Amino acid sequence: MEETVAHKTPQIGASCSTCPSIPDREAFQRALREYNQKISEITQKIDDIVGREDTVGLLCSLKQSKVEPRERRDKLKEEADKMKVEINEIKKQLAQKVGTILNFFHEICISLLCFRICWIIKIVRTASLGNSV
């Protein structure tokens, strides 16, 4: 005869005070609905910012709104660069004209100085001729 050995699993007994309580199904479902609602709200906020296939998000709108000011800025930079060349040319012309005016002023001063010297010499000669007579 064969002897059958029954394997017994040890039973560990625990008192009810250490056993976890059975969760309240309604409270669990309520908490789950609240979490799902929060997830939906956050997902909606993300969709509003990023956008989806059928909607344009705030991020995309802001990127598009920067295009026009950037184009205007670039256009103004080009105009300013063109004006810089023109301004430098005008500065050169002004410097040349100031130089010419200073040369004329210098020549006039020298001419006046020479005139005064000649006038003084004439007065001195006249005075010396008058004394000699």
Residue 13 in any domain: the answer is no
- pLDDT tens for 63-84 read 888 989 999 999 999 999 999 9
| Residue 129: band (very low, low, confident or very high) from pLDDT cuts 50, 70, 90 | confident
Calculate what percentage of the chain has a pLDDT beyond 90: 42
Interatomic CA distance for residues 87 and 76, integer angstroms: 16
Residue 40 in any domain: the answer is no
Q: Output the pLDDT for position 57.
A: 85
Residue 37 in any domain: the answer is no
Residue 33 in any domain: the answer is no
Residue 34 in any domain: the answer is no
Residue 77 in any domain: the answer is yes
Expressed as residue numbers, the domain containing 64 is 57-132
Q: Output the pLDDT for position 19.
A: 72
Q: Output the pLDDT for position 23.
A: 75
Residue 68, token pair as written in the block: 């026009």
- pLDDT tens for 99-110 read 999 999 999 989
Q: How far is CA 121 from the centre of its chain?
A: 73
Number of domains observed in the structure of the chain: 1
Lowest mean pLDDT among 31-35, 54-58, 70-74, 92-96: 54-58
Q: Output the pLDDT for position 1.
A: 46
Alpha helix ranges (H) inside the chain: 25-50, 58-132
- pLDDT tens for 27-41 read 999 999 999 999 999
Residue 8 in any domain: the answer is no
Residue 26 in any domain: the answer is no
Q: How far is CA 117 from the centre of its chain?
A: 67
Q: Is the pLDDT of residue 121 over 70?
A: yes
Q: Is 49:58 a contact under the CB 8 Å cutoff?
A: yes
